[in-house]
A and B are shown apart, each in its own frame.
Chain A
């Protein structure tokens, strides 16, 4: 005997409507933010608002260098995992020695960019959202405004530039680490030397494959940064609010990365 509470439908519809509006608004904010960032990056000097190389370097260290240990560990594990699964599957056809193909494509086109993106989303994206959110609540963003310092130029552009530079570089590093780890496993398990394995890898991979992965990773970097900033800047309601937008930014960034990855892969393989 379950009765539908009165007004449930209208309330749900109202809720869905509100959420949709918020979502559209946020996409709009993100687009505006990208536009503004590009503006300040190239036009800032003219308005006495240059983007400082120093802040970009700080962000690059923060985003990139400190993330290397955990990225290396994860990608080595993924490489070995791919080698194990590849050999296991190919054994069915007695084609274990062709495992290199699978590993090379999978790492360079998918796992390198994806793992890097997800990890950076969890690490840098969340810290960006938290930082911006805290600054908003503490009126630090207002303070920047009244000091005549444009917050986009001062806070967002350095982070964005750092992302666009570091995420592809990290992805490339991850590609190499993943391939190397997989190669070591292959060397131990099958009778293929590391040199022969890398010969094969270089043979099967084209520059296009590498670019496919690196191109995606630049997109991921932009997404992570913009999603982090939009969430952080929209915080309401104190420290709890900061926690909420931080979590939200990570979930959104990872979802965006996975979806973009699929769309990118689809479009890139059309031709």
Chain B
């Protein structure tokens, strides 16, 4: 963490969080988190289930009210923003939700077009072209007239990416982009995320469970543990970290004080169900 502090000045950051504390009801979920997302980097947020990854992500995109702490997005303190400024800020953010969150009453094309339609004065033809281009990027060219219900899970995620990117956002957020996808599609999504950073210079925040994918795409990682930050650093620094809990996560060892269903089931049935332990 001390190395972190020293280098901080050299980078411009797009998101800065200081001492973020949040509650759901009376339960405290995040216990004073400080972190930043730098311009043009891919920041991966990792951590065990229930550690607060999705909660942190929702706060980073200003979707949730915090208890205390300060948050600056693109140099604007979100507490000081008027409604109009908030709307303007949001146009610079793109989000690919875990389940896609495509609007089920609209076609894929209409979904991708919606932000353009709402926030720009482009004519229909230009919008059509832009939509087709974005869909090509996620390899969904020609699918614009299908309804979301007619797409597979991986296609929905890719369409959600297209929608998140259609306004060329400064910051892109992805919740579990590769969860539940087959390896080929998952790695294609990783490639896509890398391409978005390199070609468009986006800053990207990704929440993920998948270690392989995390190490492949991350410029830096934030490891959460029960509402606290365990570690922030490059993949290299994390691999070499002596911290016991981090090594546990890297080695996919289950938390000792949590019930592990797989182990329990295996003990019950007396057989190795999956061949290898999976997180």
Contact = CB atoms under 8 A, between A and B. Distances in A.
A139 B63 CA distance: 11
A48 interface: yes
B63 A48 contact: no
Contacts of A134: 104
Contacts of A148: 86-91, 115, 118-119
B184 interface: no
Contact of B118 (A139, A140, A149): A149
Number of contact residues on B: which range applies?
20 to 34
A139 B91 contact: no
A145 interface: yes
Interface in B88-125: 88-91, 93-95, 97-105, 114-115, 118-119
B84 interface: yes
A48 to B, nearest CB: 6
A97 interface: no
A142 B90 contact: no
Interface residues of A, number: 16
A146 B173 CA distance: 10
B90 A139 contact: no
Interface in A135-193: 135, 138-140, 142-143, 145-149
A143 B87 contact: no
A49 B98 contact: no
A138 B104 contact: yes
B155 interface: no
A140 B100 CA distance: 8
A48 B95 contact: no
A42 interface: no
Nearest to B103: A140
Q: Secondary structure of the A side of the interface?
A: helix
B84 A47 contact: yes
A147 B115 contact: yes
Given A47-B83, A48-B87, A148-B91, A142 B118 contact: no
A35 to B, nearest CB: 15
Given A147-B114, A148-B90, A142 B97 contact: yes
A134 B149 CA distance: 13
B61 interface: yes
B115 A139 contact: no
19 contacts: A47-B83, A48-B87, A48-B119, A131-B105, A138-B99, A138-B104, A139-B98, A140-B101, A140-B102, A142-B95, A142-B97, A143-B95, A145-B63, A146-B90, A146-B93, A147-B118, A148-B86, A148-B90, A149-B118
Interface of B: 58, 61, 63, 83-84, 86-91, 93-95, 97-105, 114-115, 118-119, 173
Interface of A: 47-49, 131, 134-135, 138-140, 142-143, 145-149
Report the 5 A-B pairs with minimum CB-CB distance, sorted nearest first.
A148-B90, A143-B101, A139-B101, A139-B97, A148-B87
